[in-house]
Structure 1
Amino acid sequence: MSFSGFASPWWLLFLVVVAALAVGYILVQRRRLTNTLRFTNFELLEKVAPDRPGRARHIPVALLLVGLTLLTIALAGPTSEQRVPRNRATVVLAIDVSLSMEATDVAPSRLAAAQEAAKSFADDLTPGINLGLVAFSGTASVLVSPTTNREATKTAIDHLQLSERTATGEAIFTSMQSIETLAAVLGGSDQAPPARIVLLSDGKQTVPESPDDPRGGFTAARQAAEKDIPVSTISFGTQYGSVTIEDEQIPVPVDDPSLEEIAKLSGGSFFAASSLEELEGAYDTLEEQIGFETTRGDASRPWLMLGVFAVAGGLIAAMVLRQRLP
């Protein structure tokens, strides 16, 4: 642990006192030995000198010095990195409901698997986080404004309906607007609560055609980065997926590159999932990233406990070995 890892590091100067006590004890023992050797009649010395437990007699003092060292460290306020649940954050889950999500390359279908994993994500996310739901196809709409009420979100997930086309950029813009609306309603702080968009899609953006269009996915991702709202994307499906539209089999391969670029531009994370298990794994990772934050907290309790045990052990050893307190 570095010097900066203590809340009150100047207490560590007391270790000089502990070291001085240790040196003093050694000097006293040597002086006693010198005085003892002045006796010339060793037979008389053996009769008058009390029996001593040999080197074991040093155990009480050693334990007391160790205890003082540990208690001094505890007084200095050692800190450590700790993971604590977030109680003030916003997450918007944006789910693609374009017709390609009807593909059955992921059993029982992309949409059904996405619904199951999304509900599990809602259940496992830290309770204090506000979770919202956006569905997008040719347009995007807020189905549930960010709230801590998970039942509302899960009910909306169960009632997702498929539609034509994919407007990825609109999904991001709509999610950002939902986050900003909640931040304005909550107020009470100069700094908006941390926010994240989790976007699940299986295909390439079709509305508008170019992701760099003013309403395109790449443009939306850049604006999200400017507002410090990372977009974590999940590419869900396989390269051989297909759907049947008007008796015609149409291939609907996933589009990893564009979703990965959106995550990169916005400062989020990218995940590729081709099964329900992989999708749940991606959500688990996101829950760890979103649901917890790392802070420096007090870590003095273990040092305090060890110090007390060492001091108590020293006193007990003194009474057992020397029949008196040191």
Structure 2
Amino acid sequence: MLLANPWWLLGLLVVAGLIGLYVYIQRKRTSRAMKFANLEILKTVTPKRTDRFRHVPFALLAVGLILLTVALAGPQADRKVPRNRATVMLVMDVSRSMNATDVAPSRIKAAQAAAKKFATELTEGINLGLISFAGTPTTLVSPTPDHNATKDAVDKLQLDDKTATGEGIFAALDQIRTLNSLLGGDKGAPPAHIVLLSDGKQTVPESQDAPRGAFSAARKAKERGVPVSTISFGTQSGAVEIEGERIPVPVDDASLKKISQLAAPGGRFFTASSLEELNAVYSSLQEQIGYETTRGENSHPWVLAGTILALLGAVGALVLNQRLP
């Protein structure tokens, strides 16, 4: 346990002194009582009730004082608090492979439902934006605390040819930089996070290490300190019908995992092969992105417990001993 003012713990020496004084007084009292020459007379002048609980009130008071002393030392605790002004860019693949039905009712329909749920549950105050990409990226919603704008835009996603994953990431980085410039520059900018959902391998450009490729975009995200969490959505058995031909469209876990690893620390790689799994992924991201852990004062429980015990000790002393300890 971390303490803001540990020197207050020296007060425990005072509590220890009070305990020692109490023990000393009790022994002296017993010693004086034993000086009676006639034990029969002693029995008649001492209370007949049992006194085995007579030390309980002082014990409660002593423990209460210990807890209050610890409270004065300022105990610290980690707690989750909602992020304010953070930026989240949701980047969604709308290539024609997203029309595969290996995820019911289809990859794109399930992805839309999960994205809307994510936008609904995302912590208030976070700037949420939406980018779709196939052969080229399209910024549907610039980062805004109005999450309803993203939910409305998700319903309007349209499938198209090709998959330019890198372009989608670069577009998200541009939106983050634009917002940061409006908020006073990158130096004091709020934290940002990219969430990339895709189901297949990049097709444009051919190499992911090309200047506009996915791996190059991930490295640029690392330069700017932006983590990228990737979601591989679908199964290895996915396929789509194009002009009467059945074309396999298996998910590409390897490249999506590498994207999250190449970007700034803090991003994670997820897989999902159903709407339920995708919702679980988004819930996990909501916990990670929507809240941050901060350390703050946690003296209230100690003050509450110490005060209650001290009061119980005082009441017990009056009831059992007819006097305060």
TM-score > 0.5, shorter chain as reference: yes
Distance 2:57 2:240 in 1: 79
Where does the alignment leave 5 or more consecutive residues of structure 1 unmatched?
none
Distance 2:252 2:320 in 1: 76
Post-superposition Cα deviations, 1:181-217, rounded to whole Å, max 9, x if no partner, equal 1111122884211110000011110110000001110
Query: What displacement does 1:297 show?
Result: 2.0
Q: What pairs with 1:65-84 in structure 2 (closer than 5 Å)?
A: 65-84=62-81
Aligned to 2:220: 223
Post-superposition Cα deviations, 1:52-87, rounded to whole Å, max 9, x if no partner, equal 642222122111111111111111111111111111
Matched, 1:273 2:240: no
Residue 195 of structure 2 aligns to a residue in which SS? strand
Query: What displacement does 1:24 show?
Result: 1.1
Query: What displacement does 1:50 show?
Result: 5.0
Distance 1:103 1:46 in 2: 93
Aligned to 2:318: 319
Distance 1:27 1:51 in 2: 24
TM-score by length of 2: 0.96
Distance 2:186 2:5 in 1: 30
Aligned to 1:30: 27
Aligned to 1:125: 122
Equivalent of 1:256, from 253, 256, 261? 253
Structure 1 segments, 4+ long, off by >6 Å, are: none
Distance 1:11 1:241, change over 3 A: same
Distance 1:305 1:288 in 2: 30
Matched, 1:88 2:85: yes
Post-superposition Cα deviations, 1:99-139, rounded to whole Å, max 9, x if no partner, equal 11111111111111110000000001101110000010111
Query: What displacement does 1:179 show?
Result: 0.6
Distance 1:212 1:188 in 2: 29
Is the Cα–Cα contact under 8 Å of residues 202 and 237 in structure 1 kept in the other structure?
yes
Query: Structure 1 counterpart of 2:318, which letter?
Result: M
Distance 1:12 1:105, change over 3 A: same
RMSD of the alignment, in Å? 1.4
Equivalent of 1:14, from 11, 34, 38? 11
Is the Cα–Cα contact under 8 Å of residues 106 and 276 in structure 1 kept in the other structure?
yes
Number of paired residues? 323
Distance 1:36 1:90 in 2: 76
Query: What displacement does 1:228 show?
Result: 1.1
Equivalent of 1:162, from 159, 179, 195? 159
Query: What displacement does 1:287 show?
Result: 0.6
Aligned to 1:58: 55
Is the Cα–Cα contact under 8 Å of residues 53 and 321 in structure 1 kept in the other structure?
no
Is the Cα–Cα contact under 8 Å of residues 89 and 130 in structure 1 kept in the other structure?
yes
TM-score by length of 1: 0.96
Distance 1:46 1:137, change over 3 A: same
Is the Cα–Cα contact under 8 Å of residues 183 and 189 in structure 2 kept in the other structure?
no
Matched, 1:208 2:205: yes
Give the stretch that moved more between structures: 171-180 or 26-35: 26-35
Where does the alignment leave 5 or more consecutive residues of structure 2 unmatched?
none
